[in-house]
Amino acid sequence: MSDPGPRRVTAPIEMPSAGEALARACEVLTRAERILLTSHRRPDGDGTGSMTALASLLRAAGKVAVIYSVDPIARRYRWLPLVNTTVQTIGFDERFDCTIIVDCADITLLGDTLPPPEVCGPVITLDHHASGHPFGDIPVWDPAAAAVGVLVYRIAQRQGWPLTSECAVPMYVSLISDTGGFRHANTNAEALHVGAELIRAGVVPSTIAASLEERPSPGKLRLLGAVLSTLELQCAGRAGVLSVTTDMVEGARASWEDIEGMVNWARNVEGVQVGVLLTTAKGGGVRVSMRSRSDKIDVGKVCMGLGGGGHPGAGGCHLPGDLAATKERVVRALDAAFNKSRPVAESPPIESRES
């Protein structure tokens, strides 16, 4: 596949406003008949939900919308409408009027999965990561959007496309995935408004919650026990750190999908403001996931300083090195963030103890 790198936008001053970019994107969508939809590798709730919601809207408008993901959709989201139509390969003889890439903060997160320009056509990107590096022919980028599902909702409103249950359900999953069920700091008035409109369109929140919170397998429970035993409190008890290794996953007879959401166990510990999950990666290095429960610590910015990115309430990065070195580097970055967030007039606590 050819390198789509030249499409990348690196100068923020050249970026159109989110409204202008959205208008341009809608003009392209109005004319397009065949549209390719994709996201970053291993798409999560926001990526999967916004892709399938947009596919539903486009198909209802009489267009051909192909959902493309090299990696299989995670088991947790396979019940979503249209997920079963996802394809994992695109032929070089295919031709699309445009390609929409959702929830991708940086072109490098696509790997080498994007087909060549003659297959893709113009590239539209929909993203909301404040730490992102917008790319594409039409980058629709708005950090004020709580999830890419919000951008999809804006497109539907602008195009006059009605919201059906089929598109509303994955759009809602996108929304609650990136707001932590409306608990994260990025939850704003627009997010709640969109959530209400999706409920009016047929979403039943309790049903979606039950679908996402499936009964865990024995392997997942065994793995959770092993992961919880690694808990360390750092940064004077303000950061909880959990670790996952290949040996732990294999020993529990679990799958890598089973680690999803485990970072929240670290965040939910009493006194902890930031939860961290360190996962040894198959290709080397360590994957870092962070979740914050404090509006004073933007873990997206912390992860951006480590070469990754994210949102104020959720962030991640991939660091070279072993688990111990990564943990030390992450703790140093969090220490700096906590110290920076402390008011100047505040005196240090009488007792401050590192674990």
> Has residue 2 got a pLDDT over 60?
no
> Has residue 29 got a pLDDT over 70?
yes
Looking at residues 213-223, what average pLDDT do you find?
85
What architecture does CATH give domain 5-212? Alpha-Beta Complex (3.90)
Spatial separation of the C-alpha atoms in residues 90 and 161, rounded to whole Å: 28
Domain ranges of the chain: 5-212, 219-341
Question: 280 in the Ramachandran plot: left (φ > 0), alpha (ψ -120 to 50) or beta?
Answer: beta
Instruction: Provide the angle, in degrees to the nearest 10, between the axes of the packed helices 45-60 and 148-159.
Output: 10
pLDDT in tens, 89-128: 999 999 999 999 999 988 888 888 999 999 999 999 999 9
> Has residue 344 got a pLDDT over 70?
no
Burial class of residue 9 (count of CB atoms within 10 Å of its CB; 0-12, 13-18, 19+) = middle
What architecture does CATH give domain 219-341? Roll (3.10)
Question: Which stretch of 75-89, 243-257, 330-344 has the lowest confidence by average pLDDT?
Answer: 330-344
Looking at residues 286-294, what average pLDDT do you find?
90
pLDDT band at residue 5 under the 50/70/90 scheme:
very low
- What strands lie across the sheet with 239-244, from one edge to the other? 232-234, 239-244, 274-280, 286-292, 314-319, 309-310
Spatial separation of the C-alpha atoms in residues 139 and 146, rounded to whole Å: 17
pLDDT band at residue 6 under the 50/70/90 scheme:
very low
For the chain, what is the mean pLDDT? 89
pLDDT band at residue 315 under the 50/70/90 scheme:
confident
φ, ψ (nearest 5 deg) of residue 37: -120, 130
The one-letter code for the residue type at 1 is: M
pLDDT in tens, 46-71: 999 999 999 999 999 999 999 999 99
Q: CB count, 10 Å around CB of 352? A: 9
Spatial separation of the C-alpha atoms in residues 239 and 309, rounded to whole Å: 18
Pick the residue with more confidence: 139 or 42? 139
**Which pLDDT does position 150 carry in this prediction?**
98
> Has residue 328 got a pLDDT over 70?
yes
This prediction's pTM: 0.80
**Which pLDDT does position 254 carry in this prediction?**
92
